[in-house]
Structure 1
Amino acid sequence: MASEDVVAKTSETAVNTIVNLAEEAKIAREGVKAPSHALLSISKSLVAGGIAGGVSRTAVAPLERLKILLQLSSLPSEVQNPHNIKYNGTIQGLKYIWKTEGLRGMFKGNGTNCARIVPNSAVKFFSYEQASKGILWLYRQQPGKEDAELTPVLRLGAGACAGIIAMSATYPMDMVRGRLTVQTEKSPRQYRGIFHALSTVLREEGPRALYKGWLPSVIGVVPYVGLNFAVYESLKDWLIKTKPLGLVSEDNEIGVITRLGCGAAAGTVGQTIAYPLDVIRRRMQMVGWKDAASVVTGDGRTKAALEYNGMVDAFRKTVRYEGFGALYKGLVPNSVKVVPSIAIAFVTYEIVKDVLGVEMRISD
């Protein structure tokens, strides 16, 4: 009997050992797969965000260039356009660019723009996902909030964080993109491309010049990107809960057209609030570019462009010399641009993530 007990205990010990070893092996396998799976998911999210940014920005590239030309049109500089004309509207401006510079002129600066917007968009979407997770986790730590969901205010905060991170990471590219976009064949300084512009600015103006206008950009990106995400996701949530006019299917799927509408509304709200800061940022970026900051007047004298001593000074001088309306120059083409651009970016991002097999969308 004793020998049977020993055999039974030995068998039980052996079985437990085998089970434990199997469990440890399983944990080890999952531990190896988890990081690689997470890395793949991160990569897919970044790729989706980059593609979304590139597609959306290229689709509206002519309007983007016209917007920048209009923002700078009142500065005393020959670099604004080939003949220093004053555009009378969006259609007239696009026609003039097409007539004088052709198709290439319509997309001038788009290569640089995409080189900036692709990583910017990738970082922005990914940062939003991570920020929203972190903010929601912190919110749920409060008593009585254990089952809380993302609210419009929390989404606004997550979007603001994402915008600041993305803007700061790619700002030098935005700075040189602005200069490449406004230069023409008659501009004294001719940047040959992105890297030539970067090296020239570094050599002639110093590293700090690459971040001129950063403060108004960061301040502007808080309401702009924050509202984009908050309005887009809140509208989608509202549609899913109310299902108005049959816009949402019974399985809570929202169609592409409806999502485009949500993105258009989000872009309109965000850019209207943040637009004056975008104008000031663009003007501050031009300060220090000596070839763009002067113009020969009618009597043959050289006239220097306005010098700004900071964001507040730029606001003050712009309103003083040109009126409050100058802060909204280029708003019409920008509105026409932003509506499809933001909509295309959001929808493209979600579609690409579906194609790549990423389970989580931004609203999840």
Structure 2
Amino acid sequence: MASEDVVEKTSESAVSTIVNLAEEAKLASEGVKAPSPAFLSICKSLVAGGVAGGVSRTAVAPLERLKILLQVQNPHSIKYNGTIQGLKYIWRTEGFRGLFKGNGTNCARIVPNSAVKFFSYEQASKNILWLYRRQSGDEDAQLTPVLRLGAGACAGIIAMSATYPMDMVRGRLTVQTEKSPRQYRGIFHALSTVLREEGPRALYKGWLPSVIGVIPYVGLNFAVYESLKDWLIKTKPFGLAKDSELSVTTRLACGAAAGTVGQTIAYPLDVVRRRMQMVGWKDAASIVTGDGRSKAPLEYNGMVDTFRKTVRHEGFGALYKGLVPNSVKVVPSIAIAFVTYEMVKDVLGVEMRISD
């Protein structure tokens, strides 16, 4: 009887071992085939950011092109005198396609830029919050507006640096006309031409003012957007927040406010960057010489020199050329980007949001 018990127990043990090994083998094989949840979450976050950037930028493409044309147009040969007149002029001279010239290149740049920016912000804010809690000793501490500003600045610098050559090329394609000294057939042709004729450094003309400008711009975008949302959810003024959730309209308003604050502060650096990109390619700015009738191309040597010459020859207001169409563009663009990002992540089933 005792021997039978031993045999039975041994058999049960053997069967249990075999079952456990089979289950482990199955789990191992499934682990090899299926991506990890973290990897899927990263991919979904990048996709959401890319979609948000493409949708928001295409929606305001005509205003984006007009802004650049206003920034770099010759002050002695004014073609664009404001938003409405400028859009009508483009429509009359170039047709409907002219309103969206350069948008393909713009989306090719903004989609990866937006994907990297949103993802970088989430990672930066998570790490900054971890450091903040560790230093303060408060495990329940939350991100402050200043910490969000820092996380946004990090995200902006990373995204801008990673996609800057595309931005440089996009600017040239946007202002390109039949009279331009060079005719670029597309994104890759422009990149190869600039690289071959002007060298690799030309792809990063205006990078410094771009990085300096992106710190307050992107940083304030994220900080203002999230801080506004938090404030509305906590205080619930006028019944705007219900059950700790904001409506799409309210979130759009938060994004619009964030975009307005950020772009107003950073706009002069955007003008400087654009002018530095156009040096040697198109007579974007000219000065009056001699008797006041002759004109000569205005060349820039660095960020400080561009600031100085722009203010000296065109006045301080030149640093805000194109601000009106840019404001009209930024208000819906930033708003659409934030809300689209959150909505796409909801559709894809990603729990983490920027405000979380």
Q: Shared topology, TM-score over 0.5? A: yes
How far apart are 1:39 and its partner, in Å?
A: 1.7
Whole-Å Cα distance in 2 between the matches of residues 198 and 246 of structure 1?
Answer: 51
Q: CA RMSD, aligned part only?
A: 3.1
Moved more, 289-298 or 171-180: 289-298
Shift of 1:25: 6.9
1:264 paired residue number: 256
Asked whether the 8 Å contact 2:259–2:331 carries over to 1, the reply is: yes
The Cα offsets for residues 137-184 of structure 1, whole Å up to 9 and x where unpaired, read as 111111423221111111111111110011001000100110111111
- Counterpart CA distance in 1 for 2:288 and 2:315 is 24
> C-alpha distance in 2, partners of 1:9/1:333?
82
Q: CA deviation at 1:250?
A: 3.7
Q: Corresponding residue for 2:348?
A: 356
What's the TM-score, normalizing by structure 1? 0.87
When residues 332 and 209 of structure 1 are mapped into structure 2, their CA distance, relative to the original with a 3 A threshold, is same
Which deviates more from structure 2 when the two are superposed, residues 301-310 or residues 132-141? 301-310
Alpha-carbon displacement from aligned partner over 1:213-241 (angstroms, at most 9, x marks no partner) = 00000000000000000100111111111
Conserved? CA contact 2:181–2:281, under 8 Å: no
- Normalised by the length of structure 2, the TM-score is 0.89
1:251 Cα deviation from its structure 2 partner: 2.1
- Mark the CA change 1:228 to 1:22 in structure 2 (over 3 Å): closer, same or farther: farther
SS of the residue corresponding to residue 295 of structure 2 reads: strand
| Displacement of 1:302 | 8.8
Q: Which runs of 5+ in 2 are unaligned?
A: none
Cα deviation for residue 36 of structure 1 reads 2.4
Given that 1:294 and 1:302 are in contact with CA atoms closer than 8 Å, whether structure 2 keeps it comes out as no
Q: 1:285 to 1:311 in 2, by over 3 A?
A: same
Find the residue that maps to 1:216 and give its secondary structure.
helix
Deviation at 1:189, TM superposition (A): 1.8
1:258-282 deviations in whole A, cap 9, x for unaligned? 0000000000000000000000000
Question: Which whole-Å CA distance do the structure 1 matches of 2:312 and 2:284 have between them?
Answer: 22
- The question of whether the paired residues in 2 share the 8 Å contact of 1:49 and 1:121 is answered with yes
Q: Equivalent residue of 1:358, what SS?
A: coil
- CA distance 1:246–1:18, change in 2 (3 Å): farther
- Deviations along 1:262-310, one digit per CA (max 9) or x if unpaired, are 0000000000000000000000001132676889999999954222111
Q: CA deviation at 1:186?
A: 2.2
User: What is the CA distance between 1:188 and its match in structure 2?
Assistant: 2.8
What are the superposed Cα offsets for residues 163-212 of structure 1, whole Å, 9 maximum, x if unpaired?
00110010001001101111112223211111111111111100000000
Return the alpha-carbon distance in structure 1 between the equivalents of residues 217 and 284 of structure 2. 29
Q: Distance in 1 between matches of 2:85 and 2:64?
A: 15
Give the 3-state SS of the residue equivalent to 1:288 in structure 2: coil
**Kindly tell me: are residues 308 and 273 of structure 1, through their superposed partners in 2, closer, same or farther at Cα, counting changes over 3 Å?**
same
CA contact (8 A) 2:125 2:151 kept: yes
Question: How many Å apart are 1:2 and its aligned residue?
Answer: 10
Number of residue-to-residue matches in the alignment? 356
User: Which residue number in structure 2 is paired with residue 75 of structure 1?
Assistant: none
- Distance across 2 between alignment mates of 1:246 and 1:333: 33
